[in-house]
Amino acid sequence: MAYTWVLLSIISAFTLATSDALTKKALTDSNEYLVAWFRLLFSLPLLLFLYIFVPIPKLDIEFYKAFVLALPLEIIAMVLYIKALRISPLSLTLPFLALTPVFLILISYLIIGEKVSFLGSMGIIFLAAGSYTLNIHEMQRGIFEPFKAIVKEKGSVLMVGVALIYSVTSSLGKMAIVHSSPLFFGVTYFIAVTVIFAPIALWMGKTELKSFIAGGQVKGLFFPGIFYSVMIASHMIAISLTKVAYMISLKRTSLLIGVMYGYFFFKEKNIGERLSGVVLMLIGFVMIVTAT
């Protein structure tokens, strides 16, 4: 029972990676705004079913503060996330989410008071090394070429921004959960995200909406939405049972799953070097978790 959060974090990682892989498959020649919104929309039925069994907790100002601050950030991150998946390989974009625990070292301290030890700092070094080796094949052109390659890979740059935003929303989400309950926050939060994002998505995809639905592309997002809803529920419960850095670090095993999906289903190249980078990042995660 003490390690329930570990199992839930792994479930969250697997369902996130699976949703991302299925989403990327549906992204070919599709509007990313419509894809992001329909994935959210298809996640709602399962979440609403769970909501039937969730008692409404007593809410205070801290809950509303965290809720309102996180909402716009979540929408921005979602758009950047989908764009990154569309324009770049899974195995080169998803590993940059490994930076979220790095940003959490400062952000979670500022928001919820988590501190990082020397061992945690060493974890950061491993994470940085993992990011560096993602482009190790460029090393023959000069030692700084991998850094240039990261900058030139637009999807990777976007995912770095997503990682930073997620460090903030994860901390705010934990605050909201503490002042409510995991499933209550998870369901109400993503309903709000879906509703607020709807006019943006429908406006940005207005010229493609008809063909998107008539062409059957929308059907391709049904299962990504289902997996996404399981990710949300397992994420919220897991993060309520442990510290943010613990849960997010374990959830980032989705990077390893995502890299494997990229290799087996999308035939992405340079898998060996990128996989070694992910492994280094995961070692860093373990060190951070151990130190927290």
Q: Give residue 140's pLDDT.
A: 56
Q: Give residue 73's pLDDT.
A: 96
The whole model's pTM is what? Answer: 0.83
Residue 221's Cβ-side half-sphere holds a number of Cα atoms within 13 Å equal to 24
Instruction: Using only the alpha carbons of the chain, give its radius of gyration.
Output: 19
Which phi and psi (to 5°) does residue 201 adopt?
Answer: -65, -45
Q: Give residue 168's pLDDT.
A: 96
Q: Give residue 24's pLDDT.
A: 78
The three state secondary structure string of 33-67 is: HHHHHHHHHHHHHHHHHHHCCCCCCCCCHHHHHHH
Q: Give residue 32's pLDDT.
A: 81
Q: Give residue 139's pLDDT.
A: 53
Mean pLDDT by 10 residues, the chain (292 residues): 79 92 75 88 92 90 96 91 77 75 86 79 75 60 60 82 94 94 94 94 90 83 94 94 82 78 74 74 77 64
